[in-house]
C-alpha cells in the first residue's frame, strides 16, 4: 500500500460512524477493478461490510458493459462486500436503496443551503442538477435461490473537474457543484458515504422495498418527464413498492424492472 493510501485508510477509520461497513478496509493505490477485488475477498470469507477502495482503476466497470473512467486520486472507487439476509429474488430494489444512501451522502457532503437535493435516476445513477455524480454496480453471487454475497460497487465523482469528451455534458462532481469549486477530503467523503449506504441497505433488509420506494418519491430524477427505456416510451410516473419503474405509455402504464432510462425531448 502506498503511503498516501495508508494515510487515507487511517483517516477514514478515525472518522467512521458505521456499525460494520468499512471496519474491515483495504485501500489500494491502483487496481484493475475494486469490484473484482471485493469478489475475491468475499469468496475468501471477508465479513459483511468489508470495503475495498482504490485511488485509480485500470479496468473500472460500469453497468451495461461500459467502462468506468477511473483516473488517479480525484474520486472514490469503492466496493462493499455485503451479506444481507434476503433471497436472491428480492434483490432488484437493492440498487435503489444503495442509490438513496449515496444521494443522502452527496447532500450531506454539499451542506450548502442553496443546493438543490441530489436525485436518484432509476435504476442506478445519482444526479446533481441533471448530471451524473455517482453510479452503482451491484454484482451478486448465489447458490440456487440462496444469496451468498454481494458486491456493491460505487463510483462517486468527488474532485474531478474534467471528464472525457463523451461524458463532459453528462457528468459532474461534488467539487464542480460547489460555488467556489472547493475540493473535498476523500477520506471524509468515504466515511459519510459508508454510513448512509449501510443505513439504507439495512433498512431495505429489515423492512423491504416499500420504505425505499416511498423515500424515492421526492427524489426520483425525470419524474413527470418524457423518457424511454428500451422500446418503451412515455412519462415517468414513479417507482412501485417492488422497485419497478412506472412509465405511462400511450398503451397504458408499464412496470419496467430493468434497463437504461434515457430522457426524451
Ligand atoms: C454505472 O455504470 O453507473 C456503474 C458504475 C460503477 C463504478 C464502480 S467504481 C468502483 C467499482 N469498481 C468497478 O469496476 N465498478 C464499480
pLDDT at 4: 87
pLDDT at 21: 98
CA of 180 to the centre of ligand 1 (A): 28
The CA distances from residue 187 to 74, 78, 213, in Å, are 11, 12, 30
CA of 44 to the centre of ligand 1 (A): 22
Residues with CB under 6 A from ligand 1: 33-35, 57, 60-63, 66, 68, 77-79, 124-125, 135-137, 153-155
pTM for the model stands at 0.96
Q: Check whether 145 has a pLDDT greater than 80.
A: no
Which residue among 30, 35, 74 has the greatest number of ligand 1 atoms within 8 angstroms of its CB, and so is best to mutate?
35
Percent of the chain with pLDDT over 90: 83
pLDDT at 113: 57
Least confident of 12-21, 29-38, 47-56, 106-115: 106-115
- pLDDT tens digits, one per residue of 184-227: 999 999 999 999 999 999 999 999 999 999 999 889 999 999 99
Average pLDDT of the residues in 231-243: 94
Q: How confident is the model at residue 116 (pLDDT cuts 50, 70, 90)?
A: confident
Average pLDDT of the residues in 228-234: 95
Residue 252, phi-psi category: left (phi > 0), alpha (psi -120 to 50), beta (remainder): left
Supply the mean pLDDT for the chain: 94
Residue of 143 and 246 predicted with greater confidence = 246
- Non-local (6+) Cβ contacts of 205 within 8 A are 84, 85, 86
Largest CA distance in the chain: 59
Average pLDDT of the residues in 179-183: 89
pLDDT at 75: 97
Q: How confident is the model at residue 148 (pLDDT cuts 50, 70, 90)?
A: confident
The three three-digit cell numbers of residue 143, written as one number: 447458490
Q: How confident is the model at residue 112 (pLDDT cuts 50, 70, 90)?
A: low
CA of 56 to the centre of ligand 1 (A): 12
pLDDT at 114: 63
Average pLDDT of the residues in 118-138: 96
Amino acid at each position: 500500500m502506498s503511503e498516501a493510501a495508508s494515510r487515507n485508510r487511517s483517516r477514514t477509520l478515525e472518522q467512521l460512524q458505521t456499525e460494520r461497513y468499512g471496519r474491515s478496509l483495504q485501500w489500494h493505490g491502483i487496481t484493475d477493478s475494486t469490484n473484482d477485488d471485493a469478489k475475491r475477498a468475499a469468496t475468501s470469507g471477508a465479513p459483511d461490510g468489508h470495503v475495498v477502495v482504490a485511488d485509480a482503476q485500470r479496468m473500472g466497470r460500469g453497468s451495461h458493459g461500459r467502462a468506468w473512467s477511473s483516473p488517479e486520486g480525484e474520486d472514490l472507487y469503492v466496493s462493499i462486500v455485503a451479506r444481507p439476509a434476503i433471497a436472491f429474488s428480492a434483490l432488484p430494489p437493492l440498487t435503489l436503496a444503495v442509490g438513496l444512501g449515496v444521494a443522502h451522502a452527496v447532500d450531506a457532503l454539499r451542506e450548502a443551503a442553496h443546493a438543490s437535493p441530489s436525485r436518484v435516476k432509476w435504476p442506478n445513477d445519482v444526479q446533481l442538477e441533471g448530471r451524473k455524480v455517482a453510479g452503482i454496480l451491484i454484482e451478486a453471487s448465489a447458490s440456487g435461490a440462496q444469496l451468498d454475497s454481494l458486491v456493491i460497487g460505487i463510483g462517486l465523482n468527488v474532485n474531478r473537474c474534467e471528464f472525457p469528451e463523451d461524458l463532459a455534458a453528462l457528468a459532474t462532481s461534488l467539487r464542480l457543484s460547489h460555488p467556489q469549486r472547493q475540493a473535498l477530503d476523500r477520506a471524509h467523503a468515504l466515511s459519510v458515504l459508508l454510513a448512509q449506504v449501510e443505513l439504507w441497505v439495512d433498512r431495505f433488509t429489515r423492512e423491504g422495498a416499500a420504505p425505499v420506494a416511498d423515500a424515492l418519491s421526492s427524489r426520483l430524477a425525470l419524474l413527470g418527464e418524457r423518457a424511454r427505456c428500451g422500446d418503451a416510451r412515455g412519462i415517468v410516473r414513479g417507482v412501485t413498492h417492488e422497485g419497478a419503474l412506472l412509465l405511462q405509455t400511450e398503451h397504458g402504464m408499464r412496470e419496467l424492472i430493468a434497463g437504461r432510462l434515457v430522457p426524451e425531448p
